[in-house]
Every structure is written in structure tokens, then in C-alpha cells.
Amino acid sequence: MNQEFPYRLLSDVDRAVGAAYGAAKGPDEKYPDFPKRLTFLIDPQGVVRKIYEVSDIPAHPDAVLADITAMAAG
């Protein structure tokens, strides 16, 4: 499924952003070498509006797009 996002997505390869947002796993967590699956919805002013813990990977993009649409409408 191609979502064709009209903006760039961030991939935190060196984990710097995850650490800055407090999203990096601690050494005592399960699979500490793998990052948490989180999405941050950030508005044009830079305010974090929603944080998603991704559990349903195929449905996740549509859920985020629905929230973006709702934010734009209201």
C-alpha cells in the first residue's frame, strides 16, 4: 500500500531523535537494541499533538492520516 505522504518522514538511524524525545529503549527493556515503534504527530508550529505506540503496522498510516485530516478540519 503506497500512502504517498506529501511530506518527508524521519528515520532515526543513529537514535539521536529517539533519545531527545525520550523514546529510546532502556537497557533493561525487552529487545533493547531495537527501537520502540513510535510515531509523533507534530503540527506546523512544532507542537507534538499525538504520540502513537504502533502495534498494528498495516493500519497505522491510515490512522495517522485520519488524525491529520481531523486536525486540519478543526
Q: What is the pLDDT of residue 59?
A: 94
Place of cell 498495516: 58
Delimit the domains of the chain by residue range.
16-73
Give DSSP secondary structure letters for 13-51.
TTSHHHHHTT-SPPTTSSSTTS---EEEEE-TTS-EEEE
pLDDT in tens, the chain (74 residues): 567 778 777 788 887 887 888 788 888 989 888 778 888 899 889 999 999 999 899 999 999 999 999 999 98
